[in-house]
Chain A
Amino acid sequence: MTSRFPGYDVLAKRNTLSWNEPTRRAIDKRIAVPPGPRFFSVTEWETLCAVCARIVPQPRDRPPVPLPAYVDEKMFENQSDGYRFAELPPQGEAWKTGLAAIEAEAQAAHRAGFHELAATEQDALLRRMQKGELDGPPWRGMPSALFFNKHVLHDIVSAYYAHPTAWSEIGWAGPASPRGFVRLDKGMRDPWEATEAYPGKEDKARRENQRVV
């Protein structure tokens, strides 16, 4: 996959004026996420890893963002979103129920663990969950579509875009602390922001992205 922001690494800003000590501390802590699992059982963890790989497939040419570890950490430390849908149990319970149910659906349909299925089979199962078609006893009355939207998508995608690897990929400059943004109109960028590569101008963007600090 060709990068839209070639040569841009948001972590190169770590020791520049763009970031201060609290910012560095926060991001260091985020990168140093414990590998897990601390909250989930081994079976749940295997299922979670397989779900994450289907929700946000990652390129092989760079270290992946450890998505299951972030979901596990969020549940382990009970970092709540501050709200809960009335139809859903508390987030930890929802995830445990959901993962067990996904695993049970895989066993029922394919006589294999979810993580052992082919990607297409996994996708088919996830799609049925997204449409709310899964409502057997393992779900314990939890609406599968709501679980998919409010936890599977929300927690995994949030974890992905909270990681510097994703920031480099989308050309985001990282936390605006202390240095924020000045040029806010469309098509404008500050000198400390990534340069987007336009077709045929990739090398120019790559050169400019070496200088982004």
Chain B
Amino acid sequence: MKTTAPPLARLMHATRDDVRHSPRLREASQPIEPVAATPAAGPVRLLHAAAAILGGSVLFDSAVEHYRGSFQNRAMFLPPISAMLNIGSSAHGIASRDTDAHPLRSLSYVASLAIGALGAGFHLYNVTKRVGGFGWQNLFYGAPLGAPAALALSGVVGLAADRIAANEKHTGEATLLGLPAGRTLAALTSLGLMGTVSEAGLMHFRGNFQNPAMYLPVTLPPVAAGVLAGAALRPTRRSRKAAKTWLGVTSVLGVAGVALHCYGVSRAMGGWRNWRQNVVDGPPIPAPPSFTGLALAGLAALTLIERASR
């Protein structure tokens, strides 16, 4: 119901009788009831932010890589478009006062999940159709199997945000897939982190770990994934604190990775001046923030676990 507030001066000088006799003043003098924010609002926003970061990583990475592939297949336009829609949805999810799920938002997340799955299939086909078929050589140099998974993860994390918000609002309990939201999300995030670690490991092995920093994404995030899984299985104060620390480290790693990949581009022949080759051919600058996105999802899971254990 929309009400226009009475002038402040009238309220301030209103006597008790005035208030009693004026419905408008009576209403205005009631203490303002805060918008019913569900306890999960914080982690839900964090999850939307995580989905947005994953979406941003996929948007720029798929745009650059598919530009490299000259968008030979029309379907190659799908992931950047889907990632863009996810970013819009997540921004809406963060800004929205209503903590309920939103059908269009959820549709975007579901679409990215589907396109991610489809993309993984396409990429697998690309790898197997190459001379030599399914093997290390083609896993290294064919379409990357892990990249479409990042788009799917963006969708999964966004959907989780919407489902947790809706379940909490309508049932009063933060659940996901009928299970406690925090622990389920922690498990999903751990799996996502390990998938991303595999992708980074494959690519960094291809790059012969020529810079010692290339070992970081195959050593630090697995610890984070492990302690996060630990915090889900045995939710103690100590396990949560360890998980929080390692997820923090992982989220910083995602940002540092961007800087290191920029450095990698500068080291290639012709450096940044030759960006048209080196941005496409060098280390993928938009890829590392996937770790940051997943770390944020993990932190949201921890908050939910913490609330459930109170």
Contacts and interface: CB of A to CB of B under 8 A. Distances in A.
A183 B70 contact: yes
Interface stretch (A57-65, A74-82, A172-180): A172-180
A164 B19 CA distance: 94
- Main secondary structure on A side of the interface with B: loop
Contacts of B70: 183, 188
B11 interface: no
B170 interface: no
A167 interface: no
Interface string B270-292: 10011011001100000000000
A179 B68 contact: no
Nearest to B279: A182
B269 interface: yes
A20 B276 CA distance: 15
Contact of A20 (B68, B72, B270, B277): B270
- Main secondary structure on B side of the interface with A: helix
A4 to B, nearest CB: 20
Contact of B269 (A178, A190, A192): A178
Nearest to A176: B269
Contacts of A177: 269
A179 B270 contact: yes
A188 B72 CA distance: 9
A136 interface: no
A17 B270 CA distance: 8
A182 B281 contact: yes
Contacts of A192: 276
Contact of A17 (B68, B69, B274): B274
A34 interface: no
B73 to A, nearest CB: 13
Nearest to A181: B277
Contacts of A178: 269-270, 274
A17 B277 CA distance: 10
B276 A191 contact: yes
Contacts of B281: 180, 182
A66 B21 CA distance: 108
Given A17-B274, A178-B274, A183 B68 contact: yes
Contacts of A180: 269, 277, 281
A17 B278 CA distance: 12
A179 B280 contact: no
Interface string A19-63: 010000000000000000000000000000000000000000000
A177 to B, nearest CB: 7
A182 B270 CA distance: 14
A182 B277 contact: yes
A188 B274 CA distance: 20
Nearest to B70: A188
Nearest to B269: A178
Interface in A167-206: 177-180, 182-183, 188, 190-192
B164 to A, nearest CB: 43
A171 B70 CA distance: 19
Contact of A182 (B68, B72, B269): B68
17 contacts: A17-B270, A17-B273, A17-B274, A17-B276, A20-B270, A178-B270, A178-B274, A180-B269, A180-B277, A180-B281, A182-B68, A182-B277, A183-B70, A188-B69, A188-B70, A190-B277, A191-B276
Interface of B: 68-70, 72, 269-270, 273-274, 276-277, 280-281
Given A17-B270, A191-B276, 14 more contacts: A20-B270, A178-B274, A179-B270, A179-B274, A179-B276, A180-B281, A182-B68, A182-B280, A183-B68, A183-B70, A188-B69, A188-B72, A190-B277, A192-B276
> Lowest 5 A-B CB distances belong to which pairs?
A178-B270, A178-B269, A182-B281, A182-B280, A179-B277
